[in-house]
Amino acid sequence: MTDVTVIDYDCGNLFSVCRAIEMSGRSFELTSDPEKITTADRLILPGVGAFGSARAALDKRGLIAPIHAFVKTGKPFLGICLGMQLLFDSSEEFGAHEGLGLIPGKVAAIPSRRDDGTHRRIPNIGWCPITPPSVNRWQSTVLRDTDPGAYMYFVHSFVGMPDDQGDILAVAQYDGLELCAAVSRDNVIGVQFHPEKSAVEGLALINEFVCSEALVAS
């Protein structure tokens, strides 16, 4: 039996994600098969590139309904980078695009100007510290063993903006801004950073997602 299913839709950093799963000692399967996605035990949606293209790739393969069917099972679902952004209702990247609607809210551009009018470097590429938005927010989550202030690796120009602040799992500091770095709602988790490229702290998150029984609905 496969421990973790990774959605293959030609828009993800598959090699690094799969290598991180292997380092956790768990088996994985790359697939675009709707039935395998629906019946997975744990599901990962990676993603790099543009929101609209990624959504179109999921549509083309008939994967929207299977993803929703999987989420309804209550089993753990993780979106990484663009995969996290796809969890939202919509995105403003290069036009208006519909998301998966699993996290109420939208994806918008990181402001390119600071309050004083000077330019902010976009995209955000590099290491940023993440912290919980409130005390104890990380308990019983994939970040429960992560130290507040741990540095994670980001590559993005757009950021998720949840309607419900309670869906924010972690925030990151970048050039005077506090950005949503991770979200969670029920069994749906999303991280804007790349845990598979974030050294020990990132690999610990992957390990927690693929191994922890605490994430599995009873």
Tokens at 10, concatenated: 């030609």
93, 97, 128, 194: the active-site residue: 194
**DSSP strand pairing (88-91 vs 77-80):** unpaired
11, 128, 196, 201: the active-site residue: 196
Handedness of CA 141, 188, 61, 95 (dihedral sign): negative
Active site residue 81: yes
Active site residue 156: no
The helix-helix angle for 199-211 and 14-23 (nearest 10°) equals 70
Backbone dihedral region of 183: left (phi > 0), alpha (psi from -120 to 50 degrees) or beta?
A: beta
Active site residue 11: no
81, 128, 180, 201: the active-site residue: 81
Q: What are phi and psi of 95, to 5 degrees?
A: 110, -170
Annotated catalytic residues are 81, 194, 196
